[in-house]
Amino acid sequence: MSTDLLQRGKNIKLAVFDVDGVLTDGRLYFLEDGSEFKTFNTLDGQGIKMLMASGVTTAIISGRKTPVVERRAKNLGIPHLYQGREDKLVVLDELLAQLGLSYEQVAYLGDDLPDLPVIRRVGLGMAVANAASFVREQAHGITQARGGEGAAREFCELILRAQGNLEAANAAYL
C-alpha cells in the first residue's frame, strides 16, 4: 500500500460508494415479473460497518434506483443514500454542505465514467480493479479486488489503517 494512499486516508470523515460494479459485480439480474436483484459481498458489508464504528460517515450515490439498494443501505446502517442520480458531484456538494465537510475529507470508490468527476475531486478517489480503464488511470489508487468481490472491504481497511484504527476494528471481534 502506497504512502500516498495512507496519507490521503488520514483525514477522511466521509466514505462514499457507488453500487453497480463496486458493491456488486456490476451485473443486473431481471426476473420475469420485471423485478431485479443484486448480490452483495458480506466482507464489504462488514468493512463498511467497521468503518462507521470508527467514526467515518458513509454514503451511497448510485445512478440507478432500486429497492434492493435501499434495503442493503438500511441493513448496514448507511445514513446517506442517493439513488437515481447520475450527477454525483452535485449530490456530493449537497451532502458536504449538510455535513460541513470539505472534498479533502471524502473518500470515494467507483468504477465507471459517472464516478470520474467525484474521483478527481475528493481527497481519496479510488477505483475497483475491474473499473473502466480511463477511471483506473485517473484514480489515486486501485483496489486489488474486483467490484462485488471485496473491493469495498479493501477500501474501508485502507482508511482504517491510515487512521490507525484497523487493529482496533479487528480486535472488537476477538
Report yes or no: 59 and 78 within 8 Å, Cβ to Cβ. yes
Residue 18 labelled as part of a binding site: yes
20 a known binding residue?
A: yes
Neighbouring-strand partners of residue 127: 110, 142
- Residue 112 has which C-alpha cell? 465507471
Residue 174 CB partners (closer than 8 Å, separation 6+): none
- Torsion (CA) 95, 102, 105, 99 in degrees, nearest 10: -40
Q: Is residue 113 within 8 Å of 132, Cβ to Cβ? A: yes
Binding site, annotated residues: 18, 20, 111
Binding site, annotated residues for Mg(2+): 18, 111
Binding site, annotated residues for substrate: 20
